[in-house]
Structure 1
Amino acid sequence: MTPRMIRIDRAVTLLVAILLVALGLLMVDWHYRWVFGTYPTELSTGPAREVVTAGWFPWALAAAGIVLGFLGLMWLLAHLRRRGPSTLRLRTSDETGRVQADLRSIADTSGGRLESMAALTGVTGTVVTIRSRPVILLRGRVDPVASTASITDAAEICTRDLAAAFPDQAITCRILVDSPRRGKARQQSNVRVR
């Protein structure tokens, strides 16, 4: 998700929370009459019935449903995990030519190297975009007999190699180590190196 989408999510969540708390407080006050002493004893559905039976109401309801459905679809699509860029233009590019790094190949190679150095299985390397920057994400499962020190050392070597390859910090590396498959161990181990 983009930082803008995260801010929108937080604002909408805050607004919904405030509305729900206000509705809950109104219901409590309706029962105990602490703030507003009087409430009507009977409610009339006449005005609502007039609106619902109007000729324009089905069309307005259908249009509102289409708009809300479209907004909901846009909201869901904005929350899908976006793959990062496949290439990165390096600073050595100039008017004579463009120099690019193939990020997906770098991610695959880094994943294979991490798996060969540490007791990890099924290491995959992908490119994701986090805060508008490409990040090499390496993810694998820990072997139940692996030591934390060997995994940490391998993670540090991989991140140090990527930092040396891109000294301008155009790319960062994140390593996630998941627990073994079910039945082998229950403990989750996460090693995050940036």
Structure 2
Amino acid sequence: MSRTVAGFDRLVVFVLGLVLVVGGAATGAWALNLLDDVGLPASSVPQQISTGPVTDAAGQPWWAYATAAGAVVLGLLGLWWLLAHIPHRGADALRLPGSSAAGALALDGDAAVAVAAQVIAEVPGVRSASGRMVSERGQLIAEMNVVADPEVDLVELDAAVVEVSRDLATVLSRSDVRGRVHVSIARSSKGLARVA
């Protein structure tokens, strides 16, 4: 969810809350005959509420078109609101140091992390490795997923992960990128051919 959508949500909740509090207080003051105490003379406030204007409007020929148009607008607004709240974990191109008003240096973070994962995939006992750059709560994370055989040498795998992470940090040249490596150990070994 972007900051714009979060700001819009907060504004809408604040306005709705304010309307409900003021409306509830006004209704309570009206029901308890306390409007004179807040500076509104009783003669300026109706003693009964009539729904006649609403029922008269509902009988007009334009009413069906107006309600249909309102339903379409509210439906589109609701659809936009739902789509705006779909989590987007992907990261945009990374702006590198050295960028200025004259020009920007950018790097595809997904490609850099995918290459780092390919290096880890070459470690003996690693079945597969993949990687991508994600954004979580405003934090950039180089995320790699590794699947290894049960016989993998974990010390060697750890050393490879540390070295690749160091190289990736050098390539990205950004101190705000964090790393996360998920290592999954397969339940069984890959079937190796037996030699008789």
Instruction: Report the TM-score range of the alignment, normalised by the length of the smaller protein.
Output: 0.5 to 0.7
SS across alignment from 1:67: helix
| Partner SS, residue 84 of structure 1 | coil
After superposition, the C-alpha distances for 1:95-140 in whole angstroms (9 at most, x for unaligned) are xxx9845526628968xx9xxxxxxxxxx97633468x7711659x
Tell me whether 1:103 sits opposite 2:80 in the alignment: no
Structure 2 unmatched runs, 5+: 100-104, 121-129, 145-161, 181-196
Q: 8 Å contact 2:96–2:174 — kept in the other structure?
A: no
Equivalent residue of 2:71, what SS?
Answer: helix
Q: Which has the larger radius of gyration?
A: 2
Q: Which residue of 2 aligns with 1:144?
A: none
User: In 2, distance between residues paired with 1:108 and 1:10?
Assistant: 40
Identity among equivalent positions (%) equals: 29
- Aligned AA (1:20): L
1:79 aligned partner:
85
Q: Which residue of the partner structure matches residue 25 of structure 2?
A: 25
Q: Which runs of 5+ in 1 are unaligned?
A: 114-123, 140-156, 176-194
On the 8 A contact 1:85/1:134 being kept in 2, the answer is no
Q: TM-score, normalised by structure 1?
A: 0.54
Contact 1:84 1:135 in 2 (8 A): no
1:48 is aligned to: 54
Deviates more, 1:8-17 or 1:62-71: 8-17
Give the conservation status (yes or no) of the 8 Å contact 2:109–2:133: no
Residues 23 and 127 (structure 1), Cα distance of their counterparts in 2 relative to 1, 3 Å cut: farther
| Aligned length, in residue pairs | 143
TM-score, normalised with respect to structure 2:
0.54
| Residues in 1 aligned to 2:81 and 2:134: alpha-carbon distance in whole angstroms | 20
- Residue number in structure 1 paired with 2:187: none
CA RMSD, 1 decimal:
4.2
